[in-house]
């Protein structure tokens, strides 16, 4: 291959890598928007809290609405203290 063809092939590989990065970033942004605008996306969201808060500010219970516009919600109760992974 000539240098110009090799350069073109390298450019194609770089562009393919860049496209993969852009797709990954796009997925992250779509997920953020789904959570930020549940009324448009239909994504679940935290709609309330109850109980005392721990030292990290986390409540004993949170209420999750499965989709915007529903009357009901699911209650999730904290089952232990805040912990971090051990790695």
Give the C-alpha separation, 26 to 17, whole Å.
14
- Per residue in 31-81, pLDDT tens? 999 989 988 888 899 999 999 998 889 999 999 999 888 889 999 999 887
Tell me what pLDDT residue 56 has.
86
| Confidence check: pLDDT of 87 > 80 | no
Entry pTM? 0.61
Domain coordinates of the chain in residue numbers?
A: 1-36, 38-82
Pick from 3-12, 17-26, 71-80 the range whose average pLDDT is largest.
Answer: 17-26
């Amino acid at each position: 291959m000539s240098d110009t063809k090799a350069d073109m092939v390298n450019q194609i590989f770089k562009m393919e890598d860049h496209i993969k990065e852009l797709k990954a970033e796009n997925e992250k942004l779509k997920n953020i928007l789904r959570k930020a605008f549940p009324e448009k996306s239909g994504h679940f969201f935290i709609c309330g809290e109850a109980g005392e808060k721990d030292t990290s500010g986390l409540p004993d219970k949170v209420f999750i609405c499965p989709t915007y516009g529903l009357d009901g919600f699911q209650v999730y109760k904290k089952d232990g203290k805040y912990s971090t992974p051990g790695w």
